[in-house]
A and B are shown apart, each in its own frame.
Chain A
Amino acid sequence: MNVEPSRRSLLNGAAALAGAAALSPLLVACGGGGSGNQGGTSSEQGLASALPDHVPSDAVTPDIAPVEGAAGAISPPGFLRYPTERVRTVPEVPGSGGTYTTLTPLWGAVPPADNEHYRAMNEALGATLEMAPSAGANYGTVLPTLTAAERLPDWVQLPGWLNAQASTGRLVGTQLADLTPYLAGDRIRQYPNLAALPTGAWRGGIWQDKLYGIPVHSGTFTLGGMFYHRRDIFEERGIDANEVRSADDLFALGEELTDARAGVWAFEELWPFIDLIFPIEAKFRVVDGRLVHRYEQPEFIEALDWCRRIVDAGLLHPDALTGSHNDDASKARFYAGQSLITADGGGSWNGADADAGRAANPGYRRGCFMPFSADGTSEPRLPLMWTASWYSYLNIKLRPEQIEECLRIANYLAAPYGSQEYTRITFGVEGTHWTEGPDGPRYTEQGTIEAQPGTYVFLANPIAVVSNLGYPQITEDFCAWAAEAVRYAYKPVFWNMNITVPRRLATADAAQAVEDTISEVSRGIQPVSAFQEALGTWKRNGGDELVGWYETEVLDKLGTGQE
């Protein structure tokens, strides 16, 4: 989790900047399936024959052991310091001299091309990976131009939440290579580091019964976000965050914390992660064998109204109304203590966050609310994101031996945390890019420029762990929180299922007009009735048809994917 940017905030960033239309990062896929415009997904038997075996790795032992929770979720292992004994998991040089072009997103400064880190990596891989990180914020707009011209590189990262924009569902088999013959069943065992990735993650790489995607940033307890608070300020004021057990409690706390004259407001925007407290289900809920769309679940309006009341009561920071969710300005307000409660991804609770917060306020400490439900009485429910929301794909133009070479390289890149290979990929060359510190490798100046911006991780990487070198307290806090929260996890309907909606329903699936209205109601610009009106229009203009399609084509044929 330490390397994972907040998916939702990325999604929101993309929506604001690029106009991404993805309604949900999980399920939306635009365009017809295969050659036609029919859409579709995978069948049970197809899945079973395409899925690779799972062979867990025991190469490294964590300081904080994972905890098993509900719905098969397992909290991530924690490392308080970097393992000193660095095992070698890939005994042979994986490459055989090939050269491959790549495309990956990167948030942050792009390392110089042809730098020492890349050269050392190429040497270790025995092949040349031409790394070409592209600005993350515009990534969704770069992809369609490449796919339309059929000029995808040999190895490309197509994040799940960009599947709609990238039309991934229609690229598989036409521009992206089928990996089933190389990885399905026990064939994956020749790539032990890939075999250690969780089965659910591979499921998300399967399209129409065949395996295409190599999972990246996989985790067995992936949440869209969590509700954070300024723990240092709470403690100073004698507020116990764990006493918040309902939406009313949170609201009351907000009233207590807000002091507009002093320039302090309680909340940043909570709406995008409101599912964490209100029992709304990601896209659908099954009631009596029928699907009820998110918009039509009764709790949806309730949650919308609650967020609206926060705005009306003046508890939301006014600048949050004009910005996009979790933008840099929002984080800056949280660091500066101008807002005290925020909803953000799991990736924002780490050492870098502590550095940024302490720069603004030396006592800065991020805390996380324990899960609670809005009504205060029912059991909290935390919807799991997909096991992996990022996938890398190989170009269909590659020859079989090239695909095998790339998979061997992927196996190297997926080497577990703390291994020799992981150290090389993440930190670079010892002495040049890093030196040994008291808790593990420390980047040199050259290292921060060349190795620290993670580029290879978007092609393949091991399962997420919690590790904040130099900040063991954060790791402990995080793991303690996760160990408790993992008990409330559940799998949303159609979890880890790639579904391609027919093109004629894609507009209804994106539901841009309803989404716009929802965001405006939650920000207090429009009344709740505006949402009901937009919903009515949507239902008439394809919304009902869309739900019907999901029922007959997905639910009735393949079930909910929750087993």
Chain B
Amino acid sequence: MASTLAPGDEPGVTSPARRRGHRRRPVPPENRLTWRIRLRRDRTLILMTLPAIGLLVVFTYLPMLGIVTAFQFYDPLVGIADSEWIGLENFERLFGDPLFWGALENTLYLSAVQLVLYFPIPIMLALLLNSVLNERVRAVIQAVTFLPHFFSWVLVVTIFQQMFGGAGLLNQFLRDHGMGTWDLMTDPDTFALLVTSQVVWKDAGWGIIVFLAALTAINQNLYEAAAVDGAGRWRRMWHVTLPGMRGIIVLMLVLRLGNALSVGFEQLLIQRAGVGHDAADVLDTFAYYYGIGTQDYGYGAAAGIFKSVISLLLLWGANALAHRFGEDGLYRS
């Protein structure tokens, strides 16, 4: 992580030629080494990554072979090898299915709402927390905001139900005072807000960790210098803090976009009954209910592949955009 936090700071590899934007640059010295020498030099590091790569191969890449079922009338009893091949029929059905388009629309909508309403919150929280000088107060705030991250979605939804449900605290209060009630938990129109506020409540505290780390990496001398030059609180934040965090903010944004189509499977699964499939179905739950649930595995796989392809494009696009703006993104160009 350190290398992404402070690009160009690692010893040994810094050279003006590595600045971004240079299309043609001299080959860095390490590339002149033969692979054999590099292997010997890096063997400890390579050995350390092997278990992770092994896990990735066994649990991610091998199962990925199952995507061929998207082109089959897949029958688990017959197996992948003997299932009937039907070409693109699953995709044809998928693109002709209004439920699928509804799920896609919901996915993009929820994702957009969460991007706008959720993404900035951990950054703001991190800035706020950073300005708290008292260590104990800071620790308490951090602990309190972290805690909900460890709650299961069932618990989070139950708490929301107890607060905002038709028989919850809010509505009983309204009833006691002779006012109209509003069951937030079963209102399809405001479902996106409900889901986003749950995400904020649960994960905003957890999300600040990485931004706090970025904040501590900022050279304190810069603040002092700025203060000496007469910069106030806001100017210091604008000219020192935010530029110092820019790299990590962009990285998180890129990762977020790559994950944009995964807007919370479990959270939506639990609340689907309350607001209905029109409001709550996203691509993941669609694949689950109309693929796995009806044993239409090939169909579900087709929906899954569609999601993966779009995600990959988003990731690639966001990363390219980051590079264009002179940031590292996922890797250095």
* Contacts from A to B (Cβ < 8 Å): 16, 19-21, 30-31, 144, 147-148, 164-165, 167, 170-171, 174, 260-261, 263, 265, 317-319, 321-324, 338, 503, 506-507, 510, 512-513, 516-517, 519-520, 523, 525-526, 537
Considering the complex, give the chain A residue whose CB is closest to the CB of B162: A319
Contact of B77 among A21, A167, A507, A512 (CB under 8 A): A167
Residue numbers in B under 8 Å from A265 (CB-CB) = 167
The 24 listed contacts between A and B (C-beta, < 8 Å) are A19-B288, A19-B292, A31-B295, A148-B76, A164-B295, A322-B161, A323-B273, A338-B167, A506-B294, A507-B294, A510-B294, A510-B295, A512-B290, A512-B293, A512-B294, A513-B290, A516-B276, A520-B276, A520-B277, A525-B186, A525-B188, A525-B274, A525-B276, A526-B278
Residue numbers in B under 8 Å from A317 (CB-CB) = 166-167
Please give the distance in Å from B79's CB to the nearest CB on chain A: 7
CA distance A518 to B186 in the complex (A): 16
Is B213 at the interface (CB under 8 A from chain A)? no
Considering the complex, give the chain B residue whose CB is closest to the CB of A512: B294
Task: Provide the main secondary structure of the chain A interface.
Answer: helix
Residue numbers in B under 8 Å from A503 (CB-CB) = 73, 75
Considering the complex, give the chain B residue whose CB is closest to the CB of A261: B175
Considering the complex, give the chain A residue whose CB is closest to the CB of B175: A261
B76 & A322 in contact (Cβ 8 Å cutoff): no
Contact of A516 among B186, B188, B277, B295 (CB under 8 A): B277
Is B209 at the interface (CB under 8 A from chain A)? no
Is B271 at the interface (CB under 8 A from chain A)? yes
Please give the distance in Å from A286's CB to the nearest CB on chain B: 27
B295 & A30 in contact (Cβ 8 Å cutoff): yes
Please give the distance in Å from A307's CB to the nearest CB on chain B: 14
A519 & B273 in contact (Cβ 8 Å cutoff): yes
Is B260 at the interface (CB under 8 A from chain A)? no
Tell me how many residue pairs across A and B have CB atoms closer than 8 Å: 104
With contacts A319-B165, A507-B294 taken as known, whether A31 is within 8 angstroms of B77 at the C-beta atoms is yes
CA distance A206 to B274 in the complex (A): 39
Please give the distance in Å from B41's CB to the nearest CB on chain A: 45
B77 & A147 in contact (Cβ 8 Å cutoff): yes
Residue numbers in A under 8 Å from B288 (CB-CB) = 19
CA distance A218 to B292 in the complex (A): 31
Residue numbers in A under 8 Å from B167 (CB-CB) = 260, 263, 265, 317-319, 338
Please give the distance in Å from A191's CB to the nearest CB on chain B: 31
Considering the complex, give the chain B residue whose CB is closest to the CB of A521: B276
Please give the distance in Å from A61's CB to the nearest CB on chain B: 47
Please give the distance in Å from A257's CB to the nearest CB on chain B: 15
CA distance A327 to B275 in the complex (A): 18
The 8 closest A-B pairs by CB, nearest first: A318-B166, A19-B293, A322-B274, A520-B276, A148-B76, A525-B276, A510-B294, A21-B294
A147 & B76 in contact (Cβ 8 Å cutoff): yes
CA distance A258 to B278 in the complex (A): 30
B79 & A318 in contact (Cβ 8 Å cutoff): no
Residue numbers in B under 8 Å from A512 (CB-CB) = 289-290, 293-294
Is B229 at the interface (CB under 8 A from chain A)? no
Please give the distance in Å from B101's CB to the nearest CB on chain A: 13
Is B296 at the interface (CB under 8 A from chain A)? yes
Contact of A165 among B161, B277, B295 (CB under 8 A): B295
CA distance A144 to B292 in the complex (A): 11
Considering the complex, give the chain A residue whose CB is closest to the CB of B171: A318
CA distance A265 to B273 in the complex (A): 20
CA distance A276 to B220 in the complex (A): 74
Residue numbers in A under 8 Å from B292 (CB-CB) = 19
A322 & B186 in contact (Cβ 8 Å cutoff): yes
Contact of A318 among B157, B165, B277 (CB under 8 A): B165
CA distance A107 to B274 in the complex (A): 26
Is B99 at the interface (CB under 8 A from chain A)? yes
CA distance A510 to B299 in the complex (A): 14
Residue numbers in B under 8 Å from A319 (CB-CB) = 161, 165-167
Residue numbers in A under 8 Å from B10 (CB-CB) = none
Please give the distance in Å from B160's CB to the nearest CB on chain A: 10
Please give the distance in Å from B92's CB to the nearest CB on chain A: 13
Please give the distance in Å from A78's CB to the nearest CB on chain B: 37
A148 & B79 in contact (Cβ 8 Å cutoff): yes
Residue numbers in A under 8 Å from B224 (CB-CB) = none
Contact of A322 among B185, B188, B293 (CB under 8 A): B185
CA distance A318 to B170 in the complex (A): 13
A322 & B276 in contact (Cβ 8 Å cutoff): no
Chain B CB within 10 Å, residue with most, of A318, A322, A513, A523? A322
**19 other contacts beyond A520-B278, A523-B186, with CB at 8 A cut-off?**
A16-B273, A21-B294, A31-B77, A31-B295, A144-B76, A167-B76, A261-B176, A263-B167, A317-B166, A321-B185, A322-B273, A506-B294, A506-B296, A513-B277, A516-B277, A523-B274, A523-B276, A525-B188, A525-B275
Considering the complex, give the chain B residue whose CB is closest to the CB of A32: B75
Is B183 at the interface (CB under 8 A from chain A)? yes
Residue numbers in A under 8 Å from B185 (CB-CB) = 318, 321-322
CA distance A322 to B278 in the complex (A): 15
CA distance A520 to B161 in the complex (A): 18
B77 & A170 in contact (Cβ 8 Å cutoff): yes
Residue numbers in B under 8 Å from A506 (CB-CB) = 294-296
CA distance A519 to B185 in the complex (A): 16
Is B172 at the interface (CB under 8 A from chain A)? yes
B166 & A526 in contact (Cβ 8 Å cutoff): no
B172 & A263 in contact (Cβ 8 Å cutoff): yes
With contacts A323-B273, A512-B293 taken as known, whether A260 is within 8 angstroms of B76 at the C-beta atoms is no
Please give the distance in Å from A278's CB to the nearest CB on chain B: 22
Residue numbers in A under 8 Å from B299 (CB-CB) = 507
CB interface residues, B 212-252, toward A, < 8 Å: none
Considering the complex, give the chain B residue whose CB is closest to the CB of A170: B77
CA distance A147 to B289 in the complex (A): 21
Residue numbers in B under 8 Å from A520 (CB-CB) = 276-278
Contact of B271 among A30, A165, A322, A526 (CB under 8 A): A322
Contact of B166 among A164, A321, A519 (CB under 8 A): A321
Chain B CB within 10 Å, residue with most, of A318, A507, A512? A318
B77 & A19 in contact (Cβ 8 Å cutoff): no
With contacts A321-B274, A513-B99 taken as known, whether A507 is within 8 angstroms of B296 at the C-beta atoms is yes
With contacts A263-B172, A319-B165 taken as known, whether A21 is within 8 angstroms of B293 at the C-beta atoms is yes
CA distance A523 to B166 in the complex (A): 13
Residue numbers in B under 8 Å from A148 (CB-CB) = 76-77, 79
Considering the complex, give the chain A residue whose CB is closest to the CB of B288: A19
Contact of A31 among B75, B98, B273, B289 (CB under 8 A): B75
Residue numbers in B under 8 Å from A165 (CB-CB) = 295
Considering the complex, give the chain B residue whose CB is closest to the CB of A329: B158
CA distance A512 to B293 in the complex (A): 8
CA distance A323 to B183 in the complex (A): 14
Please give the distance in Å from A207's CB to the nearest CB on chain B: 15
CA distance A21 to B183 in the complex (A): 29
Please give the distance in Å from A14's CB to the nearest CB on chain B: 10
Considering the complex, give the chain B residue whose CB is closest to the CB of A167: B77
CA distance A263 to B183 in the complex (A): 14
Q: Produce 1/0 per residue, B113-142, CB < 8 A to A.
A: 000000000000000000000000000000
CA distance A20 to B293 in the complex (A): 5
Residue numbers in B under 8 Å from A261 (CB-CB) = 172, 175-176
CA distance A517 to B186 in the complex (A): 15
Residue numbers in A under 8 Å from B275 (CB-CB) = 525
Considering the complex, give the chain B residue whose CB is closest to the CB of A525: B276
CA distance A471 to B225 in the complex (A): 83
B186 & A318 in contact (Cβ 8 Å cutoff): yes
Please give the distance in Å from A21's CB to the nearest CB on chain B: 4
CB interface residues, B 154-204, toward A, < 8 Å: 157, 161, 165-168, 171-172, 175-176, 183, 185-186, 188
A19 & B289 in contact (Cβ 8 Å cutoff): yes
CB interface residues, B 250-295, toward A, < 8 Å: 271, 273-278, 288-290, 292-295
Please give the distance in Å from A162's CB to the nearest CB on chain B: 12
CA distance A16 to B290 in the complex (A): 13
Please give the distance in Å from B283's CB to the nearest CB on chain A: 15
CA distance A197 to B183 in the complex (A): 50
